[in-house]
């Protein structure tokens, strides 16, 4: 099978352009999903503490290393610092906990999951009596400065951001001595992130596309809400090319030089999502898909609207 393209990050480290997402992959399903993915050829797994399944992802990784299918150095493992651990004195412990969960001694990439912090040392979604998330005003620059020594120590080979808007990215770049190399953001045809991609790439930061299939299992989707993969224009294109809509959506990001991390716990889909390496989209098809952009954000993080660092409230991109 054709190999997944590898992108060189601005710090010289390679990242496989296609990875497996793990949000909402239940502990009982994710062990097999990650094992299947590694058997199929995936070498990049996207994790996060808040997904609640790092121990099981780690179990699958350890099993495949023990079987001799892969070596640790063949894998690219990303995880993310959750919002309740932004306070500088909590950052090291959070990373060590993630490493312990994943049974690893280093991560390839550690991201600040969101720029906005939540009240520390309690629930991961600390809510008041009315169900409103309780914020913390820790500045993400202080969080970043706490991450830098951990990268120097080798606990994370690269550092990055997630859900940071262009102004927030710039603010980190101005303060950072270890530069962020990735910004992981929602990205698919309805929200193609063209401006953010251009902005970040001009500054040595690659985008990773999350929810590339439109996250049909997102918990806040309203019943009957149209799904990206059901879009008739995409279905027509997929039929013309003899591919599935999911394959078109994944290949779209590969054509654009964006890293892409579709999630599935279904072996047949994990396989077909990987079978995107032996065909290309014509430039006019990429342009056609680009034209579907409608600022259609599917992960708006409404729970923390009003936070001074909410990335999607005040700034254009």
Ligand X SMILES: O=C1CO[C@H](CO)[C@@H](O)[C@@H]1O
Ligand Y SMILES: NC(=O)C1=CN([C@@H]2O[C@H](COP(=O)(O)OP(=O)(O)OC[C@H]3O[C@@H](n4cnc5c(N)ncnc54)[C@H](OP(=O)(O)O)[C@@H]3O)[C@@H](O)[C@H]2O)C=CC1
48 binds ligand X (CB under 6 A): yes
User: Which 69-88 residues touch ligand Y, going by CB under 6 A?
Assistant: none
Exposed, middle or buried by CB within 10 Å (0-12, 13-18, 19+), for 285?
middle
- DSSP state, 23? T
Range in contact with ligand Y (rule: CB under 6 A) among 20-28, 122-130, 133-141, 144-152: 20-28
The residue (of 67 and 220) whose beta carbon lies closer to ligand Y is 220
Number of residues that bind ligand Y (CB under 6 A): 29
**How many other β-carbons are positioned within 10 Å of the β-carbon of residue 142?**
14
Among 43, 171, 251, 263, interactor with ligand Y by CB under 6 A? 263
CA-nearest of 188, 182, 190, 189 to 208 is 182
DSSP structural state of residue 257? T
The answer to whether the CB of 67 falls within 8 A of the CB of 39 is no
Give residues 255-314 in contact with ligand X (rule: CB under 6 A): 299, 301
Q: Binding pattern to ligand X, positions 11-30, x when CB under 6 A?
A: ------------x-------
Select from ligand X, ligand Y, none the partner in contact with residue 217, using the beta carbon and a kind-dependent cut-off of 5 to 8 Å: ligand Y
What is the Cα–Cα distance from 3 to 21, expressed in whole angstroms?
A: 19
Chain positions 216 to 245 lying near ligand Y, rule: CB under 6 A, are 216-217, 229, 244
Among 42, 51, 140, 252, which one carries the catalytic annotation? 51
8 A C-beta contact, residue 229 and residue 245: yes
Residue 269 touching ligand Y (CB under 6 A)? yes
Question: Could you confirm whether 110 is annotated as catalytic?
Answer: no
Residue 134, by phi and psi: left (phi above 0), alpha (psi -120 to 50) or beta? beta
User: Which residues carry out catalysis?
Assistant: 51
Residues engaged in binding ligand Y (CB under 6 A): 21-23, 46, 113, 162-163, 184, 210-217, 229, 244, 246, 261-266, 269, 272-273, 299
């Amino acid at each position: 099978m054709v190999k997944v393209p590898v992108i060189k990050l601005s710090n010289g480290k390679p990242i496989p352009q296609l990875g497996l997402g793990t949000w909402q992959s239940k502990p009982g399903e994710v062990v097999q999903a990650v094992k299947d993915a590694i058997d199929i050829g995936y070498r990049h797994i996207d994790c996060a503490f808040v997904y609640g399944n790092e121990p099981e992802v780690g179990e699958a990784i350890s099993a495949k290393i023990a079987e001799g299918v892969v070596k640790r150095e063949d894998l690219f493992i990303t995880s993310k610092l959750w919002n309740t651990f932004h306070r500088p004195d909590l950052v090291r412990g959070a990373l060590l906990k993630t490493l312990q969960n994943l049974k690893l001694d280093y991560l390839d990439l550690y991201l600040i999951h969101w720029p906005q912090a939540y009240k520390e040392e309690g629930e991961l979604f600390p809510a008041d009596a009315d169900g409103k998330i309780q914020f913390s005003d820790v500045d993400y620059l202080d969080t970043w400065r706490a991450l830098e020594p951990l990268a120097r120590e080798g606990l994370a080979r690269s550092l990055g951001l997630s859900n940071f808007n262009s102004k927030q990215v710039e603010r980190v770049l101005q303060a950072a001595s270890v530069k962020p190399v990735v910004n992981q953001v929602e990205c698919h045809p309805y929200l193609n992130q063209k401006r953010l991609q251009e902005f970040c790439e001009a500054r040595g930061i690659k985008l990773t596309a999350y929810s590339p299939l439109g996250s049909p299992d997102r918990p806040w989707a309203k019943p009957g809400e149209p799904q990206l993969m059901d879009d008739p224009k995409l279905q027509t294109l997929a039929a013309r090319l003899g591919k599935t809509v999911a394959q078109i959506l994944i290949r779209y990001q590969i054509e654009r030089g964006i890293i892409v991390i579709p999630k599935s716990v279904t072996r047949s889909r994990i396989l077909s999502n990987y079978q995107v390496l032996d065909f290309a989209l014509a430039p006019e098809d990429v342009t056609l898909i680009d034209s579907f952009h409608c600022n259609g954000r599917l992960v708006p993080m409404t729970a923390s609207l009003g936070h001074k660092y909410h990335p999607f409230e005040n700034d254009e991109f």
